[in-house]
A and B are shown apart, each in its own frame.
Chain A
Amino acid sequence: MTAATGDKRMTADEAVARLASGMTLGIGGWGSRRKPMALVRALLRSDVTDLTVVSCGGPDVGLLAAAGRVRRLVAPFVTLDSIPLEPHYRAAREHGAFELTELDEAMFLWGLTAAAHRLPFLPVRAGLGSDVMTVNPGLRTVTSPYEDGEELVAVPALTLDAALVHLNRADRLGNAQYLGPDPYLDDLFCEAAREAYVSCERIVETEEFAREGGPQTLLVQRHLVTGVVEAPGGAHFTSCAPDYDRDETFQAAYAKAAAGPEAWREFADRFLSGDEDAYRAAVAGFGGATA
């Protein structure tokens, strides 16, 4: 029997209510893959702003940028994958809408790892000779204390106030399971954060995990998790294998809405003006209209 204590279930709005403007927020997933979109949509409904967003960026970054919630972005890229350039992010950058800490992917990975291990930095062979060093004048190198004497980049820890991730299954205690082929960096985001909020396709009894996948699919453990949010379709329109693929038709419409303020207002009014139930209804209507 599962102990009934430690029930961490909450709504997406309750999770977001625990966040504050000015926070450093890590967002899991990768590009347009398994992004915690229901939590991002809840963020858009809140008045939380002035965020430092740490992300292998996809439409999470695009939406927050379009809504003017980002003060600084820390990222190695922002992409929609099947649409290589994220148009909302692109527009924001070309208007100088926020500050950017542009890191190489390996630097990003080791920065999160350093935070997870409570280290001030980790040395990496990346960045040297590139303009990552120029555009981040605060980056320092470190010299190996051993015979090789190599000089490497000291990637600072990417410590997060909070992490938002979306997985396939979770229990009410905060244990969470991924069933797709790639964990992305979701567990690292949770480990690097003071608080983590996990949304999932379905909340299950702890005993049910074993029927879905082996123990190595249990990616996030409850001691890291503050809140669990049941959000079916919570990664839409990004992919959430094996539960669903990316909604390419919807993503294309989202990308098109970057054409100008009028197009964006229309998109936001139609899809982002209500709660998550309203979003799902609007998406169902959209699918019906284009089928």
Chain B
Amino acid sequence: MTAATRAEVCVVACAEAWRGDGEILASPMGTVPTLGARLARLTFSPELLLTDGEALLMADVPPLGERPGAIEGWLPFRRHLALVTGGRRHVMMGASQLDRHGNQNIACVGDWKRPSRQLLGVRGAPANTLNNPTSYWIPRHSPRVLIERVDMVCGVGHDRAAAAGPSATRFHRIVRVVTDLAVLDFESPDRTMRVRSLHPGVTAEALKAATGFPLDVPDGTPPTRPPTAEELRIVREVLDPGGLRDREVRA
């Protein structure tokens, strides 16, 4: 089997975010996180619940774009929103902008009153971040995404949660940031972003240059865990034979 591509390293890094989560809903947004969640369920986190992206919980794990063979539950949007506030969910959202404290923006670029670029809107990010564990997936790590200051706080970061008080921090937890260059988290003394591992082939200098705020990359930062042969087989032959992962992450 050929060596893992960057996209495949990212799939495994996303899967790792859900390791040990137990019997909760994994809510991936984007192709690579979706592959990651399905890979986690097929390997080290078999208890995870997964939706079909609409209202159904899948009893089995189909390849991307295919329907499940059986349905184990019903989760229409309103029950999904209720599940968020119950906390039994770990979401991996995208981010148009993300700052060092973990504040995320998916709503708009520029002044909110009249944005230079209207994006999705806040969607469920404010409730997600205050209620269930949240991770982020950044397919193109760049200084415009990993930015000093986001234009609108949708997903709440550590500084803003702390300032908002105990009701905001009570269930607030940002688990992981997976990008196409590295895996990051917030397990630093001041809860700012920290490098957890560098993807194979990525240097500390390249990571710093691609980040819009000062980022310390300590000597001895480990490489991101490579996929096992079995994980590669599942991703390539079972979950994504069409190679959709390569459309999201450049080789």
Contact = CB atoms under 8 A, between A and B. Distances in A.
Interface string B90-115: 00000000000000000110001111
Contacts of A57: 121
A89 B107 CA distance: 13
A30 interface: yes
A58 to B, nearest CB: 12
Contacts of B114: 93-96
A85 B120 CA distance: 6
Contact of A181 (B74, B130, B153): B74
Contacts of A78: 121
A181 B76 CA distance: 7
Interface in A91-146: 93-96, 102-107, 109, 124-132, 134-135
Interface string B201-229: 00000000000000000000000000000
Contact of B121 (A76, A124, A182): A76
Contacts of B153: 129-131, 134
B165 A151 contact: yes
A7 interface: no
Contacts of A126: 85, 126-127, 130-131
A222 interface: no
Nearest to A184: B77
A154 to B, nearest CB: 12
Interface residues of B, number: 46
B184 interface: no
Nearest to A141: B167
A109 B160 contact: no
Contacts of B167: 125, 128, 150-152
Nearest to A78: B121
Interface in A21-45: 30
Contacts of B124: 76, 104-106
Nearest to B53: A81
Contact of B122 (A103, A129, A185): A103
Contacts of A151: 165-167
Contacts of A135: 112, 152
B43 interface: no
A280 B120 CA distance: 30
A182 B57 CA distance: 12
A203 interface: no
Interface size class of A (residues with CB under 8 A): 35 or more
A94 to B, nearest CB: 6
A129 B161 contact: yes
Nearest to A73: B121
A125 B130 contact: yes
A167 interface: no
Given A90-B118, A94-B117, A125-B131, A131 B166 contact: no
Contacts of A188: 78
B230 interface: no
Nearest to A183: B76
B172 to A, nearest CB: 8
Most central of B112, B127, B155, B161 by chain A CB within 10 Å: B127
Contacts of A286: none
A79 B119 CA distance: 9
Nearest to B71: A181
Contacts of A129: 126, 129-130, 153, 156, 160-161, 163-164, 168
Interface of B: 54-56, 74, 76-78, 81, 84-85, 107-108, 112-127, 129-131, 152-156, 160-161, 163-168, 170-171
22 contacts: A76-B123, A77-B120, A79-B120, A102-B121, A103-B122, A105-B77, A106-B85, A107-B126, A109-B78, A128-B126, A128-B161, A129-B126, A129-B130, A129-B164, A130-B153, A131-B112, A132-B126, A135-B152, A182-B76, A183-B76, A183-B78, A184-B78
Given A57-B121, A125-B130, 14 more contacts: A76-B123, A77-B121, A78-B121, A103-B122, A104-B122, A106-B85, A106-B126, A109-B81, A125-B168, A128-B126, A129-B164, A131-B153, A181-B55, A185-B78
Closest 3 pairs (CB-CB, A-B): A126-B127, A129-B164, A77-B121
